[in-house]
A and B are shown apart, each in its own frame.
Chain A
């Protein structure tokens, strides 16, 4: 039972444009959501997070939006840069604290 889903396995975006990565979840107990970025042969690195009491969190070029009624969150990267090419994982946690991950979206930024 996959509680966190990323339905797009890959996404290609032109450099300078906006990248939008999507994530859906099914567990209504999730109250904290995170995005991780992963380069090949490296572990995931934390990118940005959002608590369920907010609907938006921004950090530089990265913004995460949360729609609790739709159980949907998205990561916006603007402007997209070549170094953003990586696999992006959505993750969620309930009060128990353990992270439940999605299957990832491979983002390719085209120069």
Chain B
């Protein structure tokens, strides 16, 4: 049983398209995250949700919209895809809420998005 699962694992799409990446965790965690690993291998936080509420929203273009239908799911929708959106996107979850420490992040295996 995968603790944090992301689909799809690979996504190749043309510029201008809209796509979604889904994430589900079965750990009972309250907090979920989206991280982006760019071509320089830099892992950077994009969003964080706690119990379906947005708590962290870094400087990310409005074309990126997270949606959390329940605390076990955090999906990422991207509109009007651009070449620079090509990256690996990681979903993660943790039992702690911000301010309580950050040792319990469990990551998914990543979604490699390629925009052509």
Contact = CB atoms under 8 A, between A and B. Distances in A.
Interface of A: 2, 32, 34, 36, 41-46, 49, 87, 89, 91, 93, 95-101, 103-104
Contact of B102 (A34, A42, A43): A34
Interface residues of B, number: 28
Interface of B: 4, 33, 35, 40-45, 48, 56, 90, 92, 96-110
A44 B90 CA distance: 9
A41 B109 contact: yes
Contact of B43 (A34, A96, A97, A101): A101
Contacts of B90: 43-44
A104 B40 CA distance: 10
Report whether over half of chain B's contact residues are helix, strand or loop; otherwise say mixed.
loop
13 contacts: A32-B103, A43-B4, A43-B108, A46-B104, A49-B103, A87-B41, A91-B43, A97-B98, A98-B45, A98-B48, A99-B105, A101-B35, A103-B40
